[in-house]
């Protein structure tokens, strides 16, 4: 059920207050108290019915034909294996022990090192002796005039 019984009591008190407010000038106190008690009971029951309807409306829809999970452990563990690279590791260790003798692994590294050249971009230089006409022409070109 949506909420607790306290909601029912709150709605019952709201009904009581409304009944007292509308009948205080027209009825004697005994009639007013009796009707406010009836209003409390009516609003209490009405709040109960409204909570039941809201609970029914707001429940998530069930999927038709939903199959229960057969295995509770599915998806709780991740089993991953790394590829076996012991041969490559042994080959690299052997090549280090041979002190620079080239092996197939070292040959690939040597070729990659020989083919590598660091980037050598041209340096940007600014000229200190620029003519004012050239600066004005550049500014006009940049501003679109």
Structure tokens at 117: 């050249």
pLDDT tens column, 22-74? 998 888 999 999 999 999 999 999 999 998 898 888 887 776 666 666 666 67
CB within 8 Å of 88: residues ≥ 6 apart: 105
Q: Taking the domains of the chain in order of start, what are their residue ranges? A: 5-58
Classify the C-alpha dihedral 129-130-132-135 as positive or negative: negative
pTM: 0.41
The distance of Cα 59 from the centroid of its chain, to the nearest Å, equals 23
Rounded Cα distance between 37 and 15, Å, is 9
Structure tokens at 19: 């009944």
């Amino acid at each position: 059920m949506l909420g607790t019984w306290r909601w029912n009591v709150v709605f019952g008190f709201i009904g009581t207050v409304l009944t007292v407010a509308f009948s205080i000038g027209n009825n004697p106190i005994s009639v007013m108290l009796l009707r406010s008690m009836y209003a409390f009971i009516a609003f209490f029951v009405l709040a109960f019915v409204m909570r039941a309807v809201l609970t029914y409306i707001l429940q998530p829809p069930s999927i038709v034909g939903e199959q229960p999970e057969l295995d509770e452990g599915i998806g709780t563990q991740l089993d991953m294996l790394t590829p076996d690279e012991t041969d490559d590791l042994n080959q690299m260790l052997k090549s280090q022990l041979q002190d620079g003798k080239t092996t197939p692994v070292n040959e690939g590294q040597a070729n990659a090192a020989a083919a590598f050249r660091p980037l050598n971009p041209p340096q940007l230089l600014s000229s200190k002796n620029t003519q004012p006409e050239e600066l004005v022409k550049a500014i006009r070109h940049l501003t679109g005039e």
